[in-house]
Amino acid sequence: MTSSGVYAVSVVLVGSDRAALLALVSTLHRRGVDVLEADLSRPAGGRRVFNATIAATPRQASSVEASLGQLIDVVEVVACKAIDARRRAA
């Protein structure tokens, strides 16, 4: 069995559909990952950015990235292994 790790997921959205956040969170739930932290912001340029830190196996993280990329308002998805600053500082 593959052990779970911490991954950072960043999703760029266009449009103003208020249900987009619900779709993102629902996708994470369906993929069976634990959401450790999440944030939705609207930077300059009218695009919204959803950032989440998740606990997942490598296979789950890959599935999350592919699934989020297929949502209607999503224009970019990046999922990568998160760096634990506490571990580096110790």
**Which stretches within 1-90 are classed as H helix?**
20-30, 58-69, 85-89
On whether residue 89 sits in a domain, the answer given is no
On whether residue 90 sits in a domain, the answer given is no
Q: Please, which residues bridge with residue 74 across strands? A: 13
Taking only the tens place, the pLDDT of each residue in 23-80 is 999 999 999 999 999 999 876 688 999 999 999 999 999 999 999 999 999 999 999 9
Residues 6+ apart with CB under 8 A from 48: 12, 13, 14, 20, 40, 41, 42
On whether residue 87 sits in a domain, the answer given is no
CATH of the domain at 39: 3.30.70.1150
Per-residue pLDDT band at 88 (split at 50, 70, 90): very low
Mean pLDDT to the nearest integer, 6-28: 93
Number of domains the chain contains: 1
On whether residue 88 sits in a domain, the answer given is no
On whether residue 16 sits in a domain, the answer given is yes
17 vs 54, more confident: 54
Predicted local distance difference test score (pLDDT) of residue 84:
60
Domain that holds residue 78: 5-82
